[in-house]
Structure 1
Amino acid sequence: MCLVKRFTVALVMVALLTGCGSPEQPSAPSDHPPPGVSVSLAQWRSDEPAHALEVAVRNTSDTPVYFADLQLVTASFKTLPPQKADSVIKRTERTDLRIPFGPAVCTPQRLPDLRPATVVARVRTGSEPLRTVVFPVAHPDPLLAKLLRDECSEFLVRQAVDIAFGQDWTESGGAMRGSLVLTRRAPGTVTLEEMGGTTHYMVEPEHAGRPLAVMDASVPTMRVPIALTPARCDAHAFAEAKKAFLFPVRAAIDGGQVRVVTVVPPEPLQGRLIQYALRACGLGR
Structure 2
Amino acid sequence: MPAPFGKAVCLPDRLPEVQPATVVAHVRVGDEQSPRKVVFPVTHPDPLLTRLLRDECSEHLIKQAADIGFGPEWKRVGDAMHGTLVLTRRGKGAVTVHRIDGTTHYIAAPVTPGEPLAELAADAQNAEVPIQLTPGRCDPHAFAEAKKAFLFPVRAGVDGGEQRVVIVVPPKDVQDRLIHYALDVCGLPTS
Taking structure 1 as the reference length, what is the TM-score of the superposition? 0.62
CA distance in 2, matches of 1:99, 1:171: 43
Aligned-residue offset at 1:169: 1.1
Q: How many residues align?
A: 189
The 1:275–1:142 alpha-carbon spacing in structure 2 relative to 1, beyond 3 Å, is farther
* Structure 1 position 186, deviation (Å): 2.5
What residue in structure 1 maps to residue 48 of structure 2? 143
Q: 1:23-68 CA distances to partner (integer Å, 9 max, x unpaired)?
A: xxxxxxxxxxxxxxxxxxxxxxxxxxxxxxxxxxxxxxxxxxxxxx
Mark the runs of 5 or more structure 1 residues left unpaired by the alignment: 1-95
Cα distance, 1:106 vs structure 2? 0.5
Structure 2 spans left out of the alignment, 5+ residues: none
- Measured in 2, the distance between the counterparts of 1:121 and 1:189 equals 43
Distance 1:171-1:100 versus aligned 2 partners, 3 A rule: farther
CA-CA distance at 1:100 after TM superposition:
4.6
User: Are the counterparts in 2 of residues 275 and 284 from structure 1 also a CA contact under 8 Å?
Assistant: no
CA-based RMSD of the aligned residues comes to 1.8
> Do the aligned partners of 2:101 and 2:109 also contact (CA within 8 Å) in 1?
no
**1:189-208 correspondence to structure 2 within 5 Å:** 189-208=94-113
Moved over 4 A (4+): none
8 Å contact from structure 1 (residues 189, 254) kept in 2: yes
C-alpha deviation, 1:139, in angstroms: 3.1
* TM-score when normalising by structure 2: 0.89
**Alpha-carbon distance change, 127 to 235 in structure 1, aligned in 2, over 3 angstroms:** same
Secondary structure at the counterpart of residue 152 of structure 1: helix
Output one character per residue of 1:197-227: Cα deviation in whole Å (capped at 9) or x when no partner. 1111111211111111222233211111101
Residue 171 of structure 1: CA displacement?
Answer: 1.7
Whole-angstrom distance in 2 between the partners of 1:113 and 1:131? 31
Q: 1:166 aligns with which of 52, 59, 71?
A: 71
Rg comparison, structure with higher value: 1
Residue 170 (structure 2) aligns with: 265
Work out the percentage of aligned pairs sharing the same amino acid: 62
Counting only pairs closer than 5 Å after superposition, residues 52-71 of structure 1 correspond to structure 2 as none
Change (3 A) 1:160 1:235: same
CA separation of 1:232/1:125 partners in 2, compared to 1, >3 Å: closer, same or farther? same
Distance 2:114 2:169 in 1: 23
Counterpart of 2:11?
107
Of residues 131, 136, 145, the one that matches 2:36 is 131
Corresponding residue number in structure 2 for 1:251: 156
- Candidates 153, 156, 160, aligned match of 2:61: 156
Cα distance change on mapping 1:210 and 1:184 into 2, 3 Å: same
Name the SS for the 1:146 alignment partner: helix
